[in-house]
Amino acid sequence: MGTQTENGLKIVVVGGFGVGKTTLVRSVSEIRPLGTEETMTRAGETVDDVSGVREKAATTVAFDFGRITLDAHNVLYLFGAPGQERFWFLWDRHFSGTLGAVVLVDTRRIDDSFWAIDRLERHGMPFIVACNDFGGPRHTPDEVRAALDLDPHIPLLDCDARSRESGKRVLITLIEHVRHRHAAQTPLSEQELV
């Protein structure tokens, strides 16, 4: 009889339309990711803002799902949320029971990230920001932080969603941020004070 996993840890990857959420989930998942991608049509161009993502041929309509086994007792479940505004109503459902979130940003279209950050802040959910490299002009971390009006305690890093190693670094950064945030919020017991 095999060992059973005791802890399923849920992480959500959010961000604007076409920032690489599906790509990030696919690059780090140890299983073949479950996806709900559909072919984009001309009709969708009248509903979704496709400027900046004209080469995109498919889009997520519900979520992407991947998994990473951390050890014998802990598994990380990854949910990539759809980025189009018409699907944002799904985000609150994705947030239920979530440990934390990654906000994936395309710095060529930074305005697409504001709603995701605002939503996470309203939920009080720990999150980090990862700037996906699309080969556009480089911005300093201070420039990105100022453009997003990001609090100084929120981790900000560059990534390449296509790279497994880069994706793993993003997830490790999120887990460490959640751990530090939780430790800062947990009051010391009387035993620890002695």
Q: What is the pLDDT along the chain (194 residues), one digit of tens a residue?
A: 455 557 889 999 999 888 999 999 999 999 876 555 545 455 555 554 555 545 644 544 446 889 999 888 989 999 988 755 655 556 566 567 789 999 999 988 888 888 889 989 988 999 999 999 888 778 899 999 999 999 999 999 999 999 999 999 999 999 999 999 888 886 655 555 44
Q: Position of tokens 């959420």?
A: 21
Q: Position of tokens 């720990």?
A: 126
Q: What is the DSSP string of 121-190?
A: HHHT--EEEEEE--S-----HHHHHHHHT--TTS-EEEE-TT-HHHHHHHHHHHHHHHHHHHHHHSPPPH
The three-state secondary structure class of 38 is: strand
Supply angle C-alpha 69, 72, 78, rounded to 5: 25
Write down the pTM of the prediction: 0.76
